[in-house]
């Protein structure tokens, strides 16, 4: 049983590293052997003593919701780009990584297309 649980965790994964955030797109298996998607955001934080810790947030997305999710995601991202453009606007000037975002080479980022889901 443990071998089957481990296999279901290793079906397919993609990782998007974006500054202090990392996004994990993981395909997992239900008990009925159908697939679903988990999207996990992991963000690095620093304690006062300098040690690092990560906060994680997870979304579970099932096949019956893929089309609606994709349409909604496209609608809101289009709205944001139409209203504010693609330039990064940041309120976090004290965070060095944020102030460097506008100069950062984004060619190393993975382009995620929801048609791939």
Output the domain CATH number for residue 75. 3.10.450.700
- Domain membership flag for residue 36: yes
Please state the domain count of the chain: 1
- Domain membership flag for residue 46: yes
Gap between the Cα atoms of 55 and 78, Å rounded = 28
Helices (H), the chain: 2-9, 66-84, 96-99
Domain hosting 81: range is: 2-109
- Domain membership flag for residue 78: yes
Gap between the Cα atoms of 41 and 21, Å rounded = 7
- Chain segment 54-80, per-residue pLDDT in tens: 999 999 999 999 999 999 999 999 999
| Torsions phi, psi for 83 (to 5 deg) | -80, -40
Higher pLDDT, 88 or 11: 11
- Domain membership flag for residue 62: yes
* pTM: predicted TM-score of the whole model, two decimal places: 0.64
- Domain membership flag for residue 25: yes
């Amino acid at each position: 049983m443990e071998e089957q649980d481990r296999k279901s965790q290793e079906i397919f994964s993609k990782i998007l590293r974006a500054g202090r955030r990392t996004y994990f797109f993981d395909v997992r298996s239900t008990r009925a052997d159908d697939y679903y998607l988990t999207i996990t955001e992991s963000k690095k934080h620093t304690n006062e003593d300098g040690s690092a810790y990560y906060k994680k947030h997870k979304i579970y997305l099932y096949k019956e919701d893929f089309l609606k999710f994709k349409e909604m995601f496209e609608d809101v991202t289009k709205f944001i780009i139409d209203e504010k453009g693609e330039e990064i606007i940041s309120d976090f000037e004290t965070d060095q990584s944020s102030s460097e975002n506008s100069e950062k080479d984004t060619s190393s980022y993975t382009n995620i297309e929801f048609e791939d889901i």
